[in-house]
Structure 1
Amino acid sequence: MLEQLLKPILAPLFNQWPALNEYGWQIAAMTVVLIVWLLTVMFNWVTVRLIRHLSQKAPVWDELLLQSIRTPLRLLIWVIGLSLLLEIFSRNGMAVSVGAGTEVRRFGAILIIAWGVLRFINSAEAFFTQPERGRKQVDRTTADAVAKLLRLIVVILAGLTVLQSAGISISGILAFGGIGGIAVGFAAKDLLANFFGGLMVYLDRPFRVGDWVRSPDKEIEGTVEHIGWRLTRIRTFDQRPLYVPNATFASISVENPSRMRNRRIYEHVGVRYDDADKVKQIVDDVREMLKAHPEIDIHQTLIVHLNRFGPSSLDFMVYTFTKTTQWVKYHAIKQDVMLRIADIIFSHGAEFAFPTQTLHIAGTESGLEPNVLPEGVAELQGR
């Protein structure tokens, strides 16, 4: 077939120089290489201009597809050319089997198509997980899970297609897989447990990449960096990587502070018993200060009340929530609130209480009756 296609093209050359008939297959091989090279140059020229034209518009599926399959298609041109060369060699007594060109063309096409689809999946995943103005960013964890599943499907289909093309019965492999799967399941039960644990993490989504998670059951706390099919990598706050098997998340409680709506300020402030007459006004002023604070969420619970009679202080409770959930900003707001509370207490002439003991000494040594207190009451104060 190839010789029939090239014969009209090379006929004028052979008619003009009859001596070239002895080198017919060499000339045919050189012609194939030249045609493949010209097709490659033309393909590059067309795709470069097409991509440049598409890049002027908003990135869409057609541009992603073209960028992904450009290199595989260029390689496919050379694979087809190689298969044609093998056919020429096999027909002219070279040490090449007769069906080598067909086999190279068939297996090469399967593998190159699979490679192009994998590149397209990777490009789509990278595109939809990159933040860009005017476009909603896809959740990174979901995109990673879908991309992994699609890549697995492509690899399995490509492998089965290659086996079928090689003459191996797929039905026999599937039957063997069903029987051997039981033995493999017992041998790799931990691996399967981690796999299904990762699947549950992807489906339930208790956390995603970038979240701060912690477990009250285990010493696990840090930022999620990667969720794999077997392990989840968490970066602890001292910058150490922590690798947690996914099966662990099926048996522990996981807290996700990254999803909290507010951060809480919960403190007890104590003033002296000598300032008992000023406590009500102090509490009222602190409550009004919190209501007027720009960083306090007044739509959440806000409590400022005298809470208890302590051993050496009158304690009032401050319970409120900040609008921000950022760790550093939260502490700055909390510091500002506590300094304002101190200013309110001092503005009323009151003072903070500290642990105090008052010791009443019987007056027997001073000549008084045992039940009569001495004029001086010794007061020992200590922090």
Structure 2
Amino acid sequence: MIDMLNQLLTEHFPDYSDSAWIILSVAVCVIAVVADLVARSTISQLMKQAEKTKILWDDVFLNSFSRPALFLIWLAAGYWLIQLFEQNFAIEVLGEDNPLPKLVPVILLAWSCLRFLKRLEQVLVMPDRMKKPMDPTTVGALGRLLRLIVSIIIVLIIMQSYGYSISGILAFGGIGGIAVGFAAKDLLANFFGGLMIYLDRPFKVGDWIRSPDQQIEGTVEDIGWRQTRIRTFDKRPLYVPNSTFTNISVENPSRMTNRRIYEYIGVRYDDSAQVLEVIKAVKAMLRMHPEIDQQQTLIVNLDRFGPSSLDFFIYTFTKTTDWIRFHEIKQDVMMQIMQIVEEKGAEFAFPTTTVHLSGELPELVKESEGN
């Protein structure tokens, strides 16, 4: 490029002065500006066309490689300006043995790959772009792992280009890994605990989880490589090391299929004749209730003789799993049970105590009252 401009300048201006390198520098800058404008216009047109298609990869590819391509134009312009500076002032800036010019395409390619992985990670979880969006937790984990691999590879390539022995580094890494493993066993335990969460997927971001073994309950906000952030129901953040989940039981209520109504109702012993009618009416009401899942277990039976009541229980499941809606349905069921008990001429039992007096005590009470 520079030699061509020099040749053209020599042919048309044979008496040009030593300051002609300024003209060449301006020409390089003008070419870079024109190339940048043309590239931006081309990319913009391609992006508009890509948005109209149903193909997933075209706009992801353009988004990923557009900015590195524009950056490459100005890198090339900067490289040519450095060559002009070296030729005019006889000063070596880069040098013939400098590997940086050869590494620039590799670095730009790695940058493009990192942008591609990041953009793809965003697209794969979009319901408007994917027929079956992938799990955000799994996609995020795989994206982090792939970006880490690309970063390590580019660092090793750069080190090799500058004369560092990769084999020695890898050997040192193998030996040092044992020492690091002992020194950072908790860190590694958390890392592999996070890996197991990503692979087994007992929960994902947005799930409500709790542990009967520890006081852990809330909504999962983030699953990192070292710890998981849980927002408790009082809106406090709870940070749990990932290794904890390998040693405790975790319940995921977010994946329940139904919510259960399990309640005891007690009526008076004086209403024993109406108990069977009440139970039949309650069971019929539950059978007809539109929010009760008839495919699940439904039980209404007299269960026990309480201290002051005849207790029967209801055991059934709602169709919804929403917490607020569930309580609305439960309230409606309990209100209808109250109405049924009243319609059948029975009453709810209250805790009562009956005292039986025997012997001469009643006579003494009467005498005391007479006096």
- TM range, smaller chain: over 0.9
Tell me which amino acid in the other structure corresponds to 1:78.
Answer: W
Q: Does 1:4 align with 2:3?
A: yes
Cα deviation per residue 1:195-221 (whole Å; 9 max; x = unaligned)? Answer: 011001101111001000001111110
Aligned counterparts, 1:82-121, within 5 A: 82-99=78-95, 103-121=99-117
Checking the alignment, whether the CA contact within 8 Å between 1:90 and 1:97 is kept in structure 2 is yes
Alpha-carbon distance in structure 1 between the residues aligned to 2:50 and 2:363: 107
Alpha-carbon distance in structure 2 between the residues aligned to 1:134 and 1:190: 38
Alpha-carbon distance in structure 1 between the residues aligned to 2:51 and 2:338: 60
Aligned to 1:262: 258
SS in 1 for 2:209: strand
Alpha-carbon distance in structure 2 between the residues aligned to 1:366 and 1:53: 102
Superposition deviation, residue 333 in structure 1: 0.6
Q: Does 1:272 align with 2:268?
A: yes
Aligned to 1:248: 244
Superposition deviation, residue 187 in structure 1: 1.2
Of 217-226 and 113-122, deviating more is 113-122
Q: 2:336 aligns with which of 321, 340, 344?
A: 340
Checking the alignment, whether the CA contact within 8 Å between 2:2 and 2:80 is kept in structure 1 is no
Q: 2:39 aligns with which of 28, 40, 43?
A: 43
SS in 2 for 1:193: helix
Tell me which amino acid in the other structure corresponds to 2:121.
Answer: E
Number of equivalenced pairs: 365
Superposition deviation, residue 5 in structure 1: 2.8
Alpha-carbon distance in structure 2 between the residues aligned to 1:218 and 1:340: 38
Q: 2:74 aligns with which of 63, 78, 86?
A: 78
Q: Does 1:295 align with 2:294?
A: no
SS in 2 for 1:269: strand
Superposition deviation, residue 28 in structure 1: 2.6
Checking the alignment, whether the CA contact within 8 Å between 2:56 and 2:129 is kept in structure 1 is no
SS in 2 for 1:300: coil
Tell me which amino acid in the other structure corresponds to 2:332.
Answer: D
Alpha-carbon distance in structure 2 between the residues aligned to 1:319 and 1:54: 56
Superposition deviation, residue 363 in structure 1: 5.2
Tell me which amino acid in the other structure corresponds to 2:295.
Answer: H
Superposition deviation, residue 100 in structure 1: 6.9
Aligned to 2:369: none
Q: 1:228 aligns with which of 224, 231, 235?
A: 224
Aligned to 1:31: 27
Tell me which amino acid in the other structure corresponds to 1:160.
Answer: L
Aligned to 1:195: 191
Structure 2 portions without partners, runs of 5+: 367-371
Of 183-192 and 266-275, deviating more is 183-192
Pairwise CA RMSD of aligned residues?
2.0
SS in 2 for 1:225: strand
Superposition deviation, residue 175 in structure 1: 1.0
Cα deviation per residue 1:3-41 (whole Å; 9 max; x = unaligned)? Answer: 433245434532xxx332433433332222222121111
Tell me which amino acid in the other structure corresponds to 1:230.
Answer: R
Aligned to 1:22: 18
Q: 1:331 aligns with which of 327, 331, 339?
A: 327
Alpha-carbon distance in structure 1 between the residues aligned to 2:362 and 2:253: 64
**TM-score if structure 2 supplies the norm length?**
0.93
SS in 1 for 2:18: helix
Superposition deviation, residue 291 in structure 1: 1.0
Superposition deviation, residue 94 in structure 1: 4.5
Checking the alignment, whether the CA contact within 8 Å between 2:219 and 2:230 is kept in structure 1 is yes
Superposition deviation, residue 255 in structure 1: 0.7
SS in 1 for 2:300: strand
Tell me which amino acid in the other structure corresponds to 1:155.
Answer: S
Change (3 A) 1:336 1:329: same
Aligned to 1:380: none
Alpha-carbon distance in structure 1 between the residues aligned to 2:9 and 2:158: 36
Change (3 A) 1:9 1:354: farther
Alpha-carbon distance in structure 1 between the residues aligned to 2:363 and 2:189: 84
Cα deviation per residue 1:159-199 (whole Å; 9 max; x = unaligned)? Answer: 11111121212111111111111111111111111101100
Aligned to 2:172: 176
Alpha-carbon distance in structure 2 between the residues aligned to 1:326 and 1:111: 50
Superposition deviation, residue 127 in structure 1: 1.5
Alpha-carbon distance in structure 1 between the residues aligned to 2:122 and 2:27: 41
**TM-score if structure 1 supplies the norm length?**
0.90
Change (3 A) 1:101 1:43: farther
Aligned to 2:300: 304
Of 79-88 and 105-114, deviating more is 105-114
Checking the alignment, whether the CA contact within 8 Å between 1:263 and 1:330 is kept in structure 2 is yes
Checking the alignment, whether the CA contact within 8 Å between 2:309 and 2:349 is kept in structure 1 is yes
SS in 1 for 2:124: helix
Alpha-carbon distance in structure 1 between the residues aligned to 2:228 and 2:169: 32
Aligned to 2:309: 313
Alpha-carbon distance in structure 1 between the residues aligned to 2:351 and 2:94: 99
Of 202-211 and 356-365, deviating more is 356-365
Alpha-carbon distance in structure 2 between the residues aligned to 1:84 and 1:208: 51
Tell me which amino acid in the other structure corresponds to 1:275.
Answer: D
Tell me which amino acid in the other structure corresponds to 1:303.
Answer: I
* Structure with larger RCO (C-alpha < 8 A, sep 6+): 2
Change (3 A) 1:212 1:116: same
Alpha-carbon distance in structure 1 between the residues aligned to 2:53 and 2:224: 35
Cα deviation per residue 1:347-372 (whole Å; 9 max; x = unaligned)? Answer: 1111100111111212525569xxxx
